[in-house]
Structure 1
């Protein structure tokens, strides 16, 4: 009888759980692992769509910044080009308007000499002095023009050249060696440096 009571007490004690019994905390070692036993990171379990969205947003911001930078560079370059174009057009116009300034300034003293000569004509009867004065003015004028690059063309006795001469008419040549050559110069031709600025009007021997 005593043995039965002892067995009943032991069975009753086994069925009862102590009040202070708690579940031990789960450590990293006890966590569910994948990929060779490494613990699963919660960030890696985020949906793939969220990662793609974040990447796309960053790319859009970067592309927008690059576009704004390129647009700013384009506007600055366009403004610089417009300023250059306007400045060039203005300088070209000024150059055209003032192209003859140097020549005119050089000719003003010659004009002064002509004015003095015109005043002297009414006050003198010395023809020789007038001729000498006119000759001096002519030489001064010619030297001034030569200084600006003007050169007279030598045509008489030269073979006719359509690039230099303008034939007014043809006369029988006084000798065989003058056939096809300039026998008379009606109007002198001129060069500006090495460029023909006026053709010589000539008579050609035939």
Structure 2
């Protein structure tokens, strides 16, 4: 009996040893599982952070792209408007120089009108009318505001004169030098006498 007792004790020790080993293996496996879960969590956290960084970068680039597109669109519109304005008033300085000739032309017509021989007058008047219609076709128009309220946007007062009637107070009585506009922009202010 002592041998079988001894064998039974060895079997129990062996069984206990196997159980301890099994427990240790289960503990190691549990620790490995926890470590793997932690790695997954850390990996998931770092992936999440990386995704957030990428999304922020994408949003930043998208914002830059939208701003650049808007700036380019504004630049294109501004340039087009400037070019349109330049086309409208491209000949402004040349037309200003021609206006002096128009003034001389009108004075010559007034002098010819007083002569008895009107044969020359009719020809010159025809040329003058053709010349003025050509200027009008280019956008030049005379400012004619006699008997209208004095407006500093169109006229320059040379002097004030007593108004012949009360209705003409503050109004343009006489034009000394005609004013002109080019496509709606005043290129020469009319020089006028204002009633007071």
TM range (shorter): 0.5 to 0.7
Which structure is richer in relative contact order (CA contacts within 8 A, separation 6 or more)? 2
CA gap 1:205/1:80 in 2 versus in 1, 3 angstroms = closer
Cα RMSD for the two superposed structures: 4.5
2:160 is equivalent to residue 170 of structure 1: yes
Offset of residue 75 of structure 1: 2.8
CA gap 1:58/1:43 in 2 versus in 1, 3 angstroms = farther
2:133 is equivalent to residue 139 of structure 1: yes
Task: Using structure 2 for the length normalisation, give the TM-score.
Answer: 0.52
Offset of residue 196 of structure 1: 6.4
Deviations 1:99-152 (A, max 9, x none): 3436769xxxxxxxxxxxxxxxxxxxx84434313312312322442xxxx665
1:195, 1:134 → 2: CA distance?
A: 23
In terms of fraction of residues, the more helix-rich structure is 2
Q: Confirm or deny: 8 A CA contact 2:89 2:182 kept in the other structure.
A: no
CA gap 1:77/1:85 in 2 versus in 1, 3 angstroms = same
2:195 is equivalent to residue 205 of structure 1: yes
Unmatched segments (≥5 aa) in structure 2? 17-25, 92-118
Q: Confirm or deny: 8 A CA contact 2:89 2:183 kept in the other structure.
A: no
Offset of residue 63 of structure 1: 0.5
1:157, 1:95 → 2: CA distance?
A: 36
1:205, 1:98 → 2: CA distance?
A: 39
- Secondary structure (helix, strand or coil) at the match of 1:159 reads coil
Offset of residue 67 of structure 1: 0.3
2:31 is equivalent to residue 46 of structure 1: yes
Counterpart position of 1:62: 48
